[in-house]
Amino acid sequence: MNTTSKISFESFSVGSFESFTTTGCPNGYISIKEANRPAPGGKWCGSSWGYTVYYSETSSINLTLVVEKLSQEQSSGYGFEFKLSYKFLRLADARIRYGNQTQRSYRGKLSIGSYCDRLLEGCSRRNCRIQSPNYPGIYPRNVSCHYRVREKNVPSGKHALIAIRQANYRYKGHIPKFDNSDKMLRIWDHCNTMQDYIEILDGWSTSATTLAHLCSGETIPEIISSGPELLLKFHTSPFGNPFHPLPLSYLPGFELEVEVFFVKKESPTYIEPGKKCEFVVTAFDNATGHLESPRHSLPPNTTCHYHFRGHARDVVWISFMKYYVTSERMNDFNSGECDVQLQIWDGDIRSKNPVQLIGQFCKDDKPKLCDHTLLRNSSRITRPCGSTKFIKQPK
């Protein structure tokens, strides 16, 4: 395959679009079949305008146009429109999809017999990208794509995490935008079965813990796995309308960059598989130190416990160098409840004895920060934090 086809729908009014899921195109439709790929069976219908372009994944495609009957508004004959232009592109010219000569994009290995399932390995050493099928054009209907990312080459004493995030777009003026009908980021219960969606799972299997369920939005938040494997599922409805609204600076579909990074194996920067988010910090190892939250994404309803245990006459002092909570609109906090919060207790909350709550922080409320210590390095010494920047056990 040395070429790809670009099909631009300049005029499109075929049948009527009724539903995303059931008998969505009763009066007529178009469908596209790629060479050497299974037929998705999805259909487009209705009227559209704007940027409606299809880029093939293979060197040959078949487009089928079916008109069952003209709807009432089309009975005059003027309501039916179908006009397209086509162009054959060399793969070297398809830079948005494949990158340029100096930085090629690795899209993963296509699974045999599938339309869009891909395996991406070795992303610690190359520029991996997860793209919607037929990117940067409209994606097909009625497909379920599984993108599996795996890192096998992990240095000794390290643990691999996989991050996927919105790609830093290489071509000014064009930004990929998932589900262009809606600018708001919608997740979890805000999605419904009619919408196309992305689901990101913390592992290899489809039964792994779900980290995110997204169905629209201009941006996709960064998601990080807790281990060396991650699965992204992309599902589209059987029927759709090839409508792409203005501005044309947005591209349909999505492109995500993949990054593999390593953390210390013996550290609280990740939660080991099958274990709770619970860590014990004792004075028997070190009297002082630094602690950070897990580097990876956490599924909903996760609670992390950090137990600080000193000697019998010790007092625990805690100074926050950084404290940041992701924008609450991502998780629907309109109820006014504190869904993401930090609590600090004076004592062991698992004991039978009552313990005192000495700190609670919610929403925009945050503990006092000793953030200037973040500027400290091997050549720069910063002033110590004052006592007002510490949370300590009451005497």
**Side-chain half-sphere of 331: how many Cα atoms within 13 Å?**
16
Residues 113 and 186 in one domain: yes
pTM of the model: 0.83
Amino acid 115: pLDDT: 97
Hey, what are 244's tokens? 């792409």
Tokens describing residue 161: 């995490």
259 and 287, same domain (yes or no): no
Strand partners, 237: none
Is the residue at 300 inside a domain? Answer: yes
Per-residue b/e over 137-162, b at no fewer than 16 CB within 10 Å?
bbbbbbbebbbbbbbeeeeeeebbbb
Joined tokens for residue 34: 């790629």
Radius of gyration of the chain (CA): 26
Indicate whether 352 belongs to any domain: yes
Range from 10-14, 123-127, 158-162, 243-247 carrying the lowest mean pLDDT:
243-247
Residues 204 and 319 in one domain: no
How far is the C-alpha of 245 from the C-alpha of 345, rounded, in Å?
A: 52
258 and 327 part of one domain: no
Instruction: Tell me whether residue 27 is in a domain.
Output: yes
178 and 145 in one domain?
Answer: yes
Q: What is the pLDDT of residue 334?
A: 46
More confident residue, 383 or 260: 260
Distance CA 216, CA 246 (A): 16
pLDDT of residue 47: 87
Residue 136: cis peptide before it, omega within 30 degrees of 0: yes
pLDDT single digits (tens) 17-67:
998 888 899 999 999 999 999 999 999 999 887 778 999 999 999 999 999
Q: Which of 119-128, 216-225, 297-306 has the highest mean pLDDT?
A: 119-128
Cβ-proximal residues to 377 (8 Å cutoff; 6+ apart), any chain: none
The mean pLDDT value for 382-395 works out to: 54
102 and 160 part of one domain: yes
Cβ 200 vs Cβ 190: under 8 Å: no
Out of 208, 233, 264, pick the residue that ends a domain.
264
Structural domain boundaries enclosing 358: 278-392
Contacts of 22 (CB under 8 A, 6+ apart): none
Q: How many domains, the chain?
A: 2
Question: Out of 155-169, 257-271, 363-377, which region has the weakest mean confidence (pLDDT)?
Answer: 363-377
Q: Are residues 22 and 137 in the same domain?
A: yes
| Confidence check: pLDDT of 222 > 60 | yes
Query: Residue 220 belongs to a domain with what CATH number?
Result: 2.60.120.290
pLDDT of res. 392: 52
Q: Are residues 292 and 245 in the same domain?
A: no
pLDDT for residue 227: 96
Domain presence at residue 22:
yes
376 or 333, higher pLDDT: 376
Residue 188 included in any domain: yes
- How far is 28 from 79, CA to CA, in rounded Å? 13
Distance CA 87, CA 85 (A): 7
258/284 same-domain check: no
Together in a domain, 184 and 302: no
Tell whether 271 is covered by a domain. Answer: no
| pLDDT reading at 270 higher than 90 | yes
Q: Is residue 16 part of a domain?
A: yes
User: End of a domain among 264, 297, 315?
Assistant: 264
Helix, strand or coil, per DSSP, at residue 372:
helix
User: So what's the pLDDT on residue 31?
Assistant: 96
C-beta separation of 51 from 248 below 8 A: yes
What pLDDT does 230 receive? 98
Residue where a domain terminates, one of 264, 286, 321: 264
Same domain, 80 and 169: yes
Handedness of CA 293, 296, 300, 304 (dihedral sign): negative
Mean pLDDT of 161-171: 76
Q: Rounded distance, CA 31 to CA 49, Å? A: 18
Minimum mean pLDDT among 57-66, 168-177, 280-289, 323-332: which range? Answer: 168-177
Tens digit of each residue's pLDDT (9 = 90 or more) over 198-211: 999 999 999 999 99
The pLDDT value recorded for residue 82 is 86
Residue 301 or residue 109, greater confidence: 109
CA angle in degrees (0–180, nearest 5) for 154-155-159: 60
Q: How far apart are CA 67 and CA 279, in angstroms?
A: 64
Shared domain check, 370 and 248 = no
Q: What are phi and psi of 93, to 5 degrees?
A: -90, -10
4-25 pLDDT tens trace: 999 999 889 999 899 888 889 9
- Is 270 a domain residue? no
pLDDT tens per residue, range 300-342: 889 999 999 888 888 888 888 888 876 544 444 445 567 788 9
What is the Cβ-side half-sphere exposure of residue 98, based on CA atoms within 13 angstroms?
14
